[in-house]
């Protein structure tokens, strides 16, 4: 059995949310990270991605599926459910994504300072 995804996987101070490199839409990189250890149900993804609206998460999952990074599998049974999993193409993004996350962690303070300076200058 897989370990559940931690609720604080992407807290507000997580450098992952500041990564300036986008893999698909705004939330795609975080979804890819959640699927790194194997298939997940939508409800499992909602735990660490609680800041993402259900509509935005659904859109992100559909976009990732359309682009060939994620598969969506309907599992039959007494209570059918859907699981999302990375494809080989999606797995190939994990290494560059990890590099982008390391970069964001190394430059976390600079990114925060730049955003704060921008907000101060443009929204006094």
Instruction: Kindly list the domain boundaries of the chain, sorted by start residue.
Output: 15-122
Question: Taking the model in full, what pTM does it have?
Answer: 0.75
Cβ atoms of 45 and 57 closer than 8 Å: yes
Measure Cα distances from 58 to 23, 69, 96, 103 in Å.
16, 14, 24, 28
- Provide the CATH number for the domain formed by 15-122 in this structure: 1.10.10.10
Residue 15: which residues within 8 A CB-CB, separation 6 or more?
Answer: 101, 104, 105, 108, 111
List, for residues 34-81, the tens digit of each pLDDT value. Answer: 999 999 999 999 999 998 999 999 999 999 999 899 999 999 989 889
Q: Check residue 73 and report its DSSP letter.
A: E
Backbone angles phi, psi at 37, to 5 degrees: -95, 10
The average confidence (pLDDT) of the chain is 86
């Amino acid at each position: 059995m897989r370990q559940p995804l931690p609720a604080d996987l992407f807290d507000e101070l997580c450098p992952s949310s500041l990564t300036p490199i986008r893999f698909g839409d705004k939330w795609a990189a975080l979804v890819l990270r959640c699927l790194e250890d194997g298939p997940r149900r939508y409800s499992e993804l909602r735990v660490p991605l609680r800041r993402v609206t259900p509509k935005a998460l659904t859109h992100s999952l559909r976009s990732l599926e359309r682009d060939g990074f994620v598969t969506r599998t309907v599992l039959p049974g007494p209570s059918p459910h859907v699981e999302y999993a990375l494809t080989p193409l999606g797995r190939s993004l994990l290494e560059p994504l990890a590099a982008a996350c390391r970069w964001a962690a190394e430059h976390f303070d600079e990114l925060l300072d730049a955003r704060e300076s921008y907000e101060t200058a443009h929204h006094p």
